[in-house]
Amino acid sequence: MIKVVIFIVTVVITVAMIPLALAATARSMSTKKPRIHFVQDMDNQPKFRAQHSNDLFLDGRAMRPPVAGTVARGNLKEDSHYNLGVVNDAWATTFPAQVRVDMDLLQRGRARFNIYCTPCHGYAGYGDGMVNKRAQEILENSDPAVVKGSTWVQPKSLHEQLISEQPIGQLFNTITNGVRTMSGYAAQIPLADRWAIVAYVKALQKSQDANLNDLPADQRRDLPTIKLFKEPN
Ligand code: HEC
Indicate which residue's Cα is closest to atom 10 of ligand 1.
155
Distance 123 CA to ligand 1 centre (A): 13
Q: What is the pTM of this model?
A: 0.71
Judge whether residue 230 has pLDDT over 70: no
Confidence bin at 84 (pLDDT 50/70/90): very high
Distance 96 CA to ligand 1 centre (A): 22
**Cβ-contact 197, 117 below 8 angstroms:** yes
Instruction: Give the mutation target among 156, 163, 176, 204 for probing the ligand 1 site: most ligand atoms within 8 A of CB.
Output: 156
How confident is the model over 12-66, as pLDDT tens digits? Answer: 999 999 999 999 998 898 888 888 888 888 888 888 999 999 999 999 999 999 8
Indicate which residue's Cα is closest to atom 5 of ligand 1.
117
Query: What domains does the chain contain, in order, with CATH numbers?
Result: 86-209 (1.10.760.10)
Confidence bin at 139 (pLDDT 50/70/90): confident
> From the CB of residue 109, how many other CB atoms can be counted at a distance below 10 Å?
23
pLDDT confidence of residue 232: 64
Pairing of strands 86-87, 90-91: antiparallel
